[in-house]
Amino acid sequence: MIRPINGTTRPKAFTLIELLIVIAIIAILAAIHFPVFATAREKARQTACASNEKQLALGITQYLQDFDEHMPSGTWSWGGGCGWAGQVYPYVKSTGAFMCPNDSQAGNPTVSYATCAPLRTANTAELACKSRR
């Protein structure tokens, strides 16, 4: 119901000033929170990087156990000269573990932790089949 104020009727609505104040408050809160979101994103990347490195370390450890404590030499030729990354791949089984989350070439699949051209474009199922031979 509309109440008359001093003999005039005034509809219930927000004024332009009230709307501008609300927008300004939301903008200030957003400006305060954006650095927090950036920090959280960077921490997530650090965690993903640590997880990738752990997976690579576990893969190398398993390789060492299977090959009498010899480190991957990078000269194994089953994958077309993949280097140590190709030798460790059968134990890691994820090309994503070889890619750093902070790599600037995010759209281009590369091996950030090691140089290995065949793993950059290889099909994961194809590599898994090659590792069983």
The residues spanned by each domain of the chain are 15-132
Handedness of CA 23, 28, 34, 40 (dihedral sign): negative
Question: Tokens representing 90?
Answer: 């059968």
Hey, which residues does 8 pair with through a beta bridge?
5
Nearest Cα residue to 131 out of 94, 99, 101, 87: 87
Q: Among 43-52, 81-90, 93-102, 110-119, which range has the highest average pLDDT?
A: 43-52
| List of residues 6+ apart from 55 with CB closer than 8 A | 92, 94, 97
Inter-residue contact 100 to 49 (CB < 8 Å): yes
pLDDT at 55 over 90: yes
Give the whole-angstrom CA distance, residue 109 versus residue 119.
9
pLDDT at site 25? 96
Hey, which residues does 9 pair with through a beta bridge?
4
Averaged pLDDT of the chain: 75
pLDDT at site 103? 75
The region, left, alpha or beta by phi > 0 then psi within -120 to 50, assigned to residue 7 is left
CA angle 110, 113, 117 (to 5 degrees): 40
CA angle 61, 131, 65 (to 5 degrees): 20
**Percent of the chain predicted with pLDDT > 70:** 63
pTM of model > 0.85: no
